[in-house]
Copies of this chain bind each other. A is one copy, B any other.
Amino acid sequence: MKRATTERIGKLPVARRVGDLRRSIAGWRRAGETVALVPTMGALHAGHLALVTRARELCDRAVASIFVNPAQFGPNEDFARYPRDEAGDAAKLVQARCDLLYAPAVEEIYPPGFSTTVTAGAIAEGLCGRFRPGHFAGVATIVTKLLVEAQADVACFGEKDYQQLQVIRRVAHDLDIPVRIEGVATVREADGLALSSRNAYLTPEERVIAPALQRTLRDVARRIESGETGIDTAVEAGLAELARAGFTKIDYLEACDADTLAPLTRPDRPGRILAAAWLGRTRLIDNVPVPQQR
């Protein structure tokens, strides 16, 4: 047997190639160990580390991947300025008891001639899919690759990117990829703002406004849950609330079926309130469940 990768950043072993990743994982499997994968784009915060912690609860080994996937950024999006800090990320992963970092170069993932796309259908077309054409095809394609490459028992994704989570569930299920997709609750700042690598873009003034996103979503969920207003009225009130709070552009605020993301039509069915709104150059997304405790 060829030895698994020996590159390390600090104490963390790093695989740069699919073959290195597979050799490490195959070694664990031979020892009877289970493996969880945590796909990320780096710039790790406590939300990512909660995924690694959950991975380690569910499996003997946790592999985190860091790949800033050009295919899921639009031409006018923030691919170039997306924060990158591999050494800092590696130190955090060691703390969270991650066993291996998979950090391939773009050419390892998309070699010359690459042309395959995975699309998830209707579930990827509304909400963020409407405002970021091609985004979820980029996500579905890279995640399919990572899941097939790692053949992990479990893969953990944050509920913060709820539509992404449902797209990945759909694709993994439809393609019969033998993996359990685990959604992990959003980690938030004390004032309710969902952790996001993009929060770093916010000016101090914008940072003060930002928590209104989650507050508004909770208000909408509460109104629907209590029956205080109908679904449409609650959503309308939420849109007005976001504008009043100082969001400079609102892509959407919608009440959706929690599984299919189709429009929520009955207040007594599991739902999800999702929104995307801008503060200057920064686009924030968030979501909450209806009912609020489930």
- Of B18, B120, B122, B175, which contacts A145 at CB under 8 A? B175
Residues of B within 8 A of A144 (CB): 175
Residues of B close to A176: CB separation below 8 A: 18, 145, 148-149
How many copies of this kind of chain does the complex include?
Answer: 2
Which of B113, B120, B145, B260 sits near A116, CB closer than 8 Å?
B120
Contact between A148 and B177, CB atoms less than 8 A apart: yes
A117 on the B face (CB < 8 A):
yes
User: A22 within 8 Å of B by Cβ?
Assistant: yes
Interface presence of A115 (CB below 8 A): yes
Are A123 and B118 in contact (CB-based, < 8 A)? no
Which residues does chain B contribute within 8 Å of A119, judged by CB atoms?
116-117, 119
Nearest CB of B to A122, in Å: 6
The answer to whether the Cβ of A170 comes within 8 Å of any Cβ in the partner chain is yes
Whether, in the assembled complex, A174 has its beta carbon less than 8 Å from a beta carbon of chain B, the answer is yes
Contact present for B123 and A170 (CB under 8 Å): no
B interface footprint on A114-143 (CB within 8 Å = 1, 0 otherwise): 111111111100000000000000001000
List the B residue with the shortest CB-CB distance to A115: B121
Q: Are A170 and B121 in contact, with the CB atoms below 8 A?
A: no
